[in-house]
Structure 1
Amino acid sequence: MSELLKVEFTKRIVELQSRVNSIHQDFAEGRNADWSEQAGERENDEVLNALEVEAKIEIQQLSNAITRIENGSYGICQDCGEDIATERLKVQPAATKCIRCAD
């Protein structure tokens, strides 16, 4: 099971890194000389920046989860040491705390 999770997490990291690379390519293309177009592009840049930040956070969380799988601490609450419910891990695979400690 844990090897399967590592594979799933690694695939997701690759997808997210591809997204980040696409965002970087979009920024590298430069901007339109038309002032009205530039306003729309700036709004687009804000959205792309937010998506990039979210992707990088998820990459880090999944990388940390892979480390926990490798050291045997995945699925164990970092606060109380109890098992994190399987249902919680299905919804939030990188969870580090059980639902009780997460509140």
Structure 2
Amino acid sequence: MRDFADRTAQLEQRRAELLERMHSLDAELDSHGDPDWEENAIEHEQDEAMEALGLSAQAEIRMIDAALARISAGEYGACVRCGTEISNERLDLLPATPFCRDCAR
């Protein structure tokens, strides 16, 4: 069994960064509300972009949580579809990936 202490720390750090980003986005969204309709329209467009970033962060957090659960269960590093060991190179690029290169296609 491989030791994933460094990988766990990496995933937890990324998760903390994403949570901080989400809190910043929430604060920014809460601060909007200009009474001028033109400014409000611009803010609305910006809000949609920020909401998309927040949704992306939520999705990545779910992937990280699943990866941390696989680490705890001793299943991290194995493809959830075929069981093949995921290469270290792939895990370096996509530490939360549940799939080997072939199954990700």
* Alignment TM-score, normalising by the size of structure 1: 0.93
> Could you tell me which of 5, 8, 13 is aligned with 1:6?
8
Across the two proteins, how many residue pairs are aligned to each other?
103
C-alpha RMSD of matched pairs (Å): 1.0
1:33-81 residue CA offsets vs partner (Å, 9 max, x unmatched): 1111011101100110000001011111111111111111111011111
CA distance in 1, matches of 2:102, 2:34: 51
Unmatched tracts of structure 1, length 5 or more:
none
- Structure 2 residue 80 is the aligned partner of structure 1 residue 78: yes
Task: Give identity over the alignment, percent.
Answer: 35
Q: What are the ranges of 5 or more consecutive residues in structure 2 without an aligned counterpart?
A: none
Q: TM-score, normalised by structure 2?
A: 0.92
**Which residue does the alignment assign to 2:21?**
19
Deviation at 1:29, TM superposition (A): 1.5
- Measured in 2, the distance between the counterparts of 1:81 and 1:13 equals 25
Q: Which residue in the other structure is 2:55 paired with?
A: 53
Flag as ranges the 4+ runs of structure 1 deviating above 6 A: none
